[in-house]
């Protein structure tokens, strides 16, 4: 039986705030201690250190933020969506309340997901480190201008890219930005990183799937610099000449799964179809 749970939800979204409060009340009725915090606020360290499960209320963005907050403890995460099917939120509100007893009784399995770690090794931001669940992207600073990025794998130069950006994605992130840029889809429990160029010109335009132990170095060769983005949520401005080293992180994101999906690719197809239908209905 769980003793302490941390609920994270986005700030300023009334349905998410209401649902988080309902979940907290249901959990408290079972004698479990619970804390509720905004995912973008300053979460008290004692809540993170004492929690045995993080319940994320919202969409995939909430889960991505929670996964970074859970480092280095790798706390299990259970995502509860607000009605729109997500890649990282496994339950809707009705399913959560129908199975709350199973959740509190730990009747779930933990699935570990690879994370990507980045360290700025040259430039003004040298020494800064980041970790992401989906991807870390090096992109152009100025609209309409490409960025020049030199790629090396395990200290061996591969190519100089003239492109809109370079994506280093995890298997989880392979269904996101990397996929839209033409990258391959990897099963979420794989241990490989994927390097995908965005709109590359006169260079290798295909993705590279790396060995699990490989290290990628991205060096900015544009005078105007570039932007480093983690999970589409955190940005760092880099000057020309800066370099970033990326590799599989020693930390993993852990997800609490009540039921194993029968087929990852069947599950993926369902989510892609739902998202496409939603976009068409909204006129996107």
In tens, the pLDDT along 46-94 reads 999 999 999 999 999 999 999 999 999 989 999 999 866 678 888 999 9
Domain boundaries, the chain: 4-108+258-281, 115-250
Which residue shows structure tokens 């907050």? 69
Strands 165-169 vs 135-140: parallel, antiparallel or unpaired: antiparallel
Confidence of residue 35 (pLDDT cuts 50, 70, 90): very high
Domains 4-108+258-281 and 115-250 share a fold: no
Global pTM exceeds 0.85:
yes
Do the beta carbons of residue 77 and residue 253 sit within 8 Å?
A: yes
Active site residues: 60
Question: Which tokens is 21 given?
Answer: 């409060």
Taking the mean position of all CA atoms in its chain, how far away is CA 280?
Answer: 25
CATH topology of domain 4-108+258-281: Rossmann fold (3.40.50)
Residue (of 281, 266, 262) closest to 84 by Cα position: 281
Do the beta carbons of residue 211 and residue 93 sit within 8 Å?
A: no
Q: Is 46 helix (H, G, I), strand (E, B) or coil?
A: helix
Render pLDDT for 174-209 as a digit per residue (tens, 0 to 9). Answer: 999 999 999 999 999 999 999 999 999 877 789 999
Question: Which tokens is 36 given?
Answer: 């509720």
Query: What does the pLDDT read at residue 84?
Result: 67
CA atoms within 13 A on the CB side of 43: 25
The architecture (CATH level 2) of 115-250 comes to Sandwich (2.60)
Query: What does the pLDDT read at residue 190?
Result: 95
> Which backbone phi and psi does 68 adopt, to 5 degrees?
-75, -35
Q: Is 155 left (phi over 0), alpha (psi -120 to 50) or beta?
A: left
Q: Which residues contact 53 (CB under 8 A, 6 or more apart)?
A: 2, 5, 6, 75, 76, 77, 78, 103, 256
Q: Is 138 left (phi over 0), alpha (psi -120 to 50) or beta?
A: beta
Q: Is 103 helix (H, G, I), strand (E, B) or coil?
A: helix
């Amino acid at each position: 039986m769980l003793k302490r749970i941390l609920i994270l939800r986005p700030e300023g979204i009334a349905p998410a705030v209401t649902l988080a409060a309902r979940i907290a009340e249901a959990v408290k009725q079972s004698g479990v201690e619970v804390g509720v915090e905004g995912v973008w606020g300053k979460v008290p360290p004692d809540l993170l250190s004492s929690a045995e499960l993080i319940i994320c209320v919202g969409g995939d963005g909430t889960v991505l933020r929670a996964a970074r907050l859970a480092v280095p403890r790798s706390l299990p995460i259970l995502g509860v969506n607000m009605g729109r099917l997500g890649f990282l939120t496994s339950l809707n509100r009705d399913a959560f309340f129908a199975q709350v007893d199973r959740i509190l009784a730990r009747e779930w399995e933990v699935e570990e997901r690879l994370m990507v770690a980045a360290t700025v090794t040259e430039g003004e931001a040298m020494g800064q480190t980041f970790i992401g669940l989906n991807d870390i992207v090096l992109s152009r600073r100025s609209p309409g201008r490409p960025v020049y990025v030199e790629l090396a794998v395990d200290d061996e130069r591969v190519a100089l890219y003239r492109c809109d950006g370079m994506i280093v994605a995890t298997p989880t992130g392979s269904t996101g930005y990397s996929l839209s840029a033409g990258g391959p889809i990897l099963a979420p429990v794989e241990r490989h990183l994927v390097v995908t160029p965005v709109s590359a010109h006169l260079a290798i335009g295909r993705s590279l799937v790396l060995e699990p132990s490989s290290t990628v170095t991205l060096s900015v060769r544009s005078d105007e610099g570039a932007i480093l983005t983690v999970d589409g949520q955190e940005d760092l401005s880099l000057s020309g000449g800066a370099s970033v080293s990326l590799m599989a992180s020693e930390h993993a994101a852990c997800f609490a799964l009540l039921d194993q999906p029968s087929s990852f690719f069947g599950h993926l197809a369902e989510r892609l179809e739902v998202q496409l239908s939603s976009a068409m209905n909204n006129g996107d």
